Chain A
Amino acid sequence: MERGLIVFNHVKEAFKAEKVLKASGFQIELTIPPKDMVKGCDLAISFNLNERLAVERALMENGVQYSDIVDVVKVSTKPLDIVKKVDYGDTIMFRCGSMKITIDKRDGIILNISGGGCPDVPYLFLQLVGKKIFEAKNPTSIGYSLCAYSLGKAFEEALKFYENSGRWNSSS
């Protein structure tokens, strides 16, 4: 149930991906794609879904082409991308799933990060808190997990909010 599936256009790409991912230490298996995605001669790779970001990054860094990544159980389900916000006056919190990021509206400084349960969450806290949102790296570029994915969505909304607030030009 926790497995994700990388789907490829070409079997050769799946072989290349297998080599890259195994060399990077991921626990993967070559497998058949979901029934509704089988085209004939297909090969997919299943992996721990919680390592999705890290897997995507390893494939990208090594120039591996793939057509899609799907949840084995819910093929049509994409990760949550809805972001809610709570306005505290001078500060505002953005939340996606269980991940929250709070910024200072005046200068865009990331004041706090909370929620989540994957091990990169405290790491992202240390990397991002205290930095200005428009100068900080997106959590998806330095994190590894689905928590980093959710935090990335909240981060993008926070950045959009700050850029649209009219303070962007004066403080950047």
Chain B
Amino acid sequence: MKTLVAGTVPVDKFPYYVGTPSFEGKNLVLGQKVLPIGMGTLSLYSATYLTIAHLKGEPPTLMTVGDVGKADGSRILYQKIAEEIEELKPNVLTLHYVMPIITLVRALALKLQKINPKPIVVADAGFMYAFKASKMGHVCNIFTPDPGEMAFLADKDAVHPAYIERHLFEIDSTSVESLIEKVKDVEGLPKMLVVKGAIDYIVLDGKILFKIDDPMVPYLEPIGGTGDTLTGILTGLIAHGLPLEKAAYYACKINRIAGQLSNPTPKTRVNEIISNIPKAIDLVLKI
């Protein structure tokens, strides 16, 4: 399957790039530029790449551009995805860091709806915020929120997690299941949610299919990028051909075990966890 990962990188004025980067230790090489695999789009891409490579699939394509929060690169990215999606023809499209801009994501959503066959769309981070705020999340197949972002999804009028109702923030991490119940009534969300947290939840049409809490690795939450790796592994497993529910279940398991293999502390960097993904795949899928 063809896989496309799209999201910004935190480098001011970094030029638009589409292609398959190579790995150089803890870095990715994009054309002539070398970027560290910190948290964010490059962590997600690396997790996808390693998952697909380990399962002997076609390497994923990365589409990226620099943006440190000024939204300049984000505007380019929205435009480039819409322009190039039909030529790239991905079967799986995962959308990640971007400045949420409702008018632009709405245009992208309309474009995605017209494509035949439409790719499986996974949205995380800023793209998830944008799709939710525009009430166009139903164009996506999966969102991957954490408990704080679940409160955002459950607040039908909120346009960003910083604007959620206070009572929803009060309950978010202690009662994810009540937020899952509330989300049922919110329009414009995808059918499947993969809620990442101390307990991971796979939710389909408002019903909890799986709760995953084993192995319990409490130090994963403070480590920047562990949500990105989960979405990256999920993307790789979907590209391998697993049904979405199975891919989601195994992605949660693999991410936890990759974390456990790293003996993490709150100081651990996500690239230590990424390097353990192939071994974790073997342990979970019994390859």
Most buried by B among A74, A122, A144, A147: A122
Answer whether residue B232 sits at the interface, using C-beta atoms and an 8 A cutoff. Answer: no
User: Which of A9-17, A36-44, A112-120, A160-168 participates in binding chain B?
Assistant: A112-120
In the bound complex, how far is the Cα of B134 from the Cα of A1, in angstroms?
Answer: 8
Q: In the assembled complex, how far is the CB of residue B89 from the closest CB belonging to chain A, in whole angstroms?
A: 26
Which chain B residue shows the least CB distance to A101?
A: B222
**Contact present for B133 and A1 (CB under 8 Å):** yes
A114:B222 contact, CB within 8 angstroms? yes
**Interface size bracket, B side:** 35 or more
Given B126, B218, B226, which contacts A119 in the complex, CB threshold below 8 Å? B126
In the complex, what distance in Å separates the CA atom of A45 from the CA atom of B81? 30
Give the distance to chain A from B54, nearest Cβ to Cβ, in Å. Answer: 25
Chain A: residues with Cβ within 8 Å of the partner, total of: 52
Please give the distance in Å from A27's CB to the nearest CB on chain B. 8
A→B interface (CB under 8 Å): 1-2, 25, 48-51, 54, 71, 73-74, 77, 79-80, 82, 84, 86, 88, 91, 93, 95-100, 102, 104, 111-123, 125-126, 129, 143-150
Task: Give 24 A-B contacts (CB < 8 Å), ordered by A residue.
Answer: A1-B102, A2-B133, A50-B100, A51-B99, A71-B163, A79-B163, A80-B161, A82-B166, A88-B218, A91-B266, A93-B221, A98-B148, A111-B222, A113-B224, A116-B125, A117-B97, A117-B100, A117-B127, A118-B125, A119-B68, A119-B98, A120-B67, A126-B10, A146-B163
Known contacts A1-B157, A50-B71, A126-B10; 4 further A-B pairs (Cβ under 8 A) = A74-B157, A99-B148, A119-B73, A119-B99
Chain B contacts to A: CB under 8 angstroms: 8-10, 38-41, 67-74, 97-102, 124-129, 133-134, 146, 148-149, 152, 157, 159-164, 166, 169-170, 173, 218-219, 221-227, 265-268
